[in-house]
Amino acid sequence: MRRWVGWVKVFFVAWLLRGHAVAVAAPAPSVAVPNQIRASGPPMIPMVQIDDTDFFDIEEATLTIPATLLAPVSAPQIPDSRGLGTADDFPIEVNKSVLDYISYFKTGNMRERFSTWLDRSGKYLAMVRDVLRQHNLPETLVFLPLIESGFNPMAYSPADASGIWQFIEGTAKVYGLRINHWVDERRDPEKSTVAAARYLKKLYGMFDSWPLSLASYNAGEGRILNALKRSNTSNFWDLSAFNILKAETRNYVPKFMAATLIARNPKAHGFSVDYQEPLRYDEVIVAGATSLKKSANAVGISVDELRRYNPELKRGITPPNDPNYRLKLPIGTKKRFLESYPHVVR
């Protein structure tokens, strides 16, 4: 009898939670949003970043978010980004969990960090959008690296996930990324984006639901399939009400939706964004074991700057067993490289 009563309570709570979800474009009065993230766990997997960005600090605050700020708007005006992440290609819901994360991203130290992520996103948004288009995926997914890595190619987690898409090694290799003593292509923004697009497309083919697909991206498809079977539901929000999933995964989808709502219109949410220049580079094909130091000297830049163009390289040379390595250089320096360092060119 107690078990039966308990299940009735669970379904009643789930029904109430669903009743609070509204469509993005639906009119609503201004609401007071407490900055309360679920107490059952931290907002996301620990992340180590080279700029010491901390993903955890949650400060108590109460903010008032006018309903106008929740409406879908045009994308940030960065080069070649018109129409980015429009509202009709991905189901965004605005419920308490999403509003809590909007508050979280706009409060205290987290506000400065999120602003840094938005600035950095300008370097990659156009490239990621193009890859998503090539794979017929919703362009709104362009904002997923915001909550995965803050668009930091060198982001690395204690779970050994790496790159802007935070691939673990096993999944990365399944989708064609090389990881060895010389390179880690999870840190290559373009190659890892292609891998992420292929993986996300596979997940959507399995679940026919973007919230469930994103939950699977975070937790693994096996865990989500098992959770759906145990809960006898096919809806992410209903599944979340059962507390079968870890807090990190329950929070992952509303966190993404909140980040997307802000990224679509940062100014309306009080962010002044200075987007980094879009990723552009020259490329040369070089011999195996080409020195990065000599390559940098050939075009008049530091080794550190050359590494920023080639974050996948782990050593001071290109892979010795790759006789045709594609080395990226600052735009406009290819001719100088060919003249200064011709014997390594293929």
Which tokens sit at 36?
Answer: 């309360």
Report CA-CA distances (Å) from 297 to 151, 286, 326: 28, 15, 18
d(CA 315, CA 312): 9
Report CA-CA distances (Å) from 213 to 35, 84, 248, 253, 324: 26, 21, 15, 10, 37
> Would you call 148 a catalytic residue per the annotation?
yes
**CB-CB contact of 336 with 298 (8 Å):** yes
Q: Which of 148, 248, 283, 312 is catalytic?
A: 148
How many other CB atoms sit within 10 Å of the CB of residue 228? 19
Q: Which residues are within 8 A (CB) of 29 and not within 5 positions of it... i.e. 6 or more apart?
A: 67
Q: Which residues of 229-244 are buried (b: 16+ CB within 10 A; e: fewer)?
A: eebebeebbbbbbbeb
How many other CB atoms sit within 10 Å of the CB of residue 334? 16
Judged by DSSP in three states, 326 sits in strand
Which value, to the nearest 10 degrees, does the dihedral of the CA atoms of residues 123, 92, 82, 103 take? -50
Which tokens sit at 95?
Answer: 């419920």
DSSP 44-104: S---B-TT---S------EEEE-GGGGS--PPP--TT-TTTT-GGGS--EE-HHHHHHHHH
Distance of CA 233 to the CA centre of its chain: 27
Which H or E run includes 22?
A: strand 22-23
Which positions are catalytic?
148
